[in-house]
Each structure stands twice: as C-alpha cells, then as structure tokens.
Amino acid sequence: MKLVLHNLTKSFATHRVLDGLSGDFGEPRSLALIGPSGGGKSTLLRIIAGLETPDAGTVTLEGEALAFADEEKLRAHRRRLGVVFQAFNLFSHLTALANLTLPLEKVHGLSASEAEHLAREALRRFHLADHAHKKPAQLSGGQQQRVAIARAIAIKPRLLLFDEPTSALDPEMTAEVLEVIEELKDEGRDFLLVTHEMGFARHVADRVAFLADGRIVEHAPAEELFGTPRSPECRDFLARILKY
C-alpha cells in the first residue's frame, strides 16, 4: 500500500477536523491510525475511501491521485476498496447472504449465481456458512462484524479499510474480530486500521501513525513508535492509554 497525503483540510461547520494533514508512509502492508478521540482518524479514513471530500489537499494511493471532483472516477475508486465500519452497516431486513450478494450484483455487476458463489465462499471463510439465512438481529455482534468483513472481502478489494471495527463489541467478540483481521494480515492483505486497541495495533501493523488535532504528529514502524515515541503528544497519549 503506497499512500501519500498532502495538506489535507476538512471542516464541518466551524470545526476544523483535519488541519493541513500530510504524511508519506512508504509502502507498508498494514497501517494503523491511533490517537485521541476527535483527532481526525475516522474522517481521514473516510476521505481515503472516497466517502468524504476534503476542503483542500490531495490523497495519492498506489501512485494515483484521488479525483474528488470526478464522481465517475470516485465511484470506480470506491469499488476497489473494502470498508468495514464500527456500526457494522448491515441491512437489517436482509439475510447475511443477501447482505453480501446485493453489492456484488448492484455495484459490481455480477450475475446472481456468480454473486451467490462468491458470497457463500466468503461466509465459509469466516465460519458463517450456517448463518447465511439469518438476519443481523439473529446474530451476535461478533458475527455481524464478521459478516461485514466477509462483505468487504467478497469484492476482492485492493485495500481494506477498518474504522474502529471492535468499538461496539464486548471483549470476547473483540478478540474474535481481531483474530479475523490478524488472519487477513497473515494472508498478505493490505489494510488501513483505525483503532483504540493499542496492543493490537502494535502487533498487527507494519507502521503506525499518531493523529491529534487534525494532524499526523508522527508516524513510524510499530515497534519504534510504541517503544520510543518522539513527540511529547504521542508519549503522553501512550502513557495514559497504556497505564492500566
């Protein structure tokens, strides 16, 4: 994953969420975004996903600048990504299987039989085959998030984006979902992860970026950032978070 951000700004009403944010991360397979709430992590992820438009600045992914002003190119960009949100974002009136087949048919243009084949394959991959015909309300939180991950994987994306995928889960379900993400890392999948799980970020990410006040304060290989953070902001944040 080759990702370069330059001078990104984004405001909602009078609140500036991203404030001239820049970063060149090299080519990590996995990048984790950490930092205090309100620092801009989720907004940055949504901009990279093409779901929000920055007020200024550029995003370059794999050498190609995102064309925020060109809706057709932006849609093509979105189709190449798999995004997993903290709130699952499953259609409550559809079964787990239909939650996967719908985007495969309507967004990616597959036939019904092709979509069902890929969907069932993805559900089996995440041990959900027996739950294919259940609706989200009949599934646990961990199962719902695994359905969401299966949906993201089914399209064979070039990049996976996780926006705090465990924030709505209890500890047991959190462990279940983190194990799935670690399996994806072991398979060589490229992904960007917004998380408050510091131990997991240190374990699974090749590189970690610390965001605060709408800026990337520092970024480094995971062990380096967690072991010897350079900035006072990152040192103070990690000291508070890891104290207990």
Taking the CA atoms of residue 73, residue 77, residue 80 and residue 86 in that order, the dihedral angle to the nearest 10 degrees is -140
pLDDT at residue 59, as a whole number: 97
Instruction: Name the stretches of the chain with pLDDT < 50.
Output: none
R_g (Cα) of the chain, nearest Å: 18
Rounded CA separation 238/105 (Å) = 44
| pLDDT for the residue 88 | 82
pLDDT for 242 equals: 86
pLDDT recorded at residue 167: 83
pLDDT of residue 237: 96
11/104 Cα distance (integer angstroms) = 33
Break the chain into its structural domains and give their ranges.
90-157
What does the pLDDT look like over 5-16, one tens digit per residue?
999 999 999 999
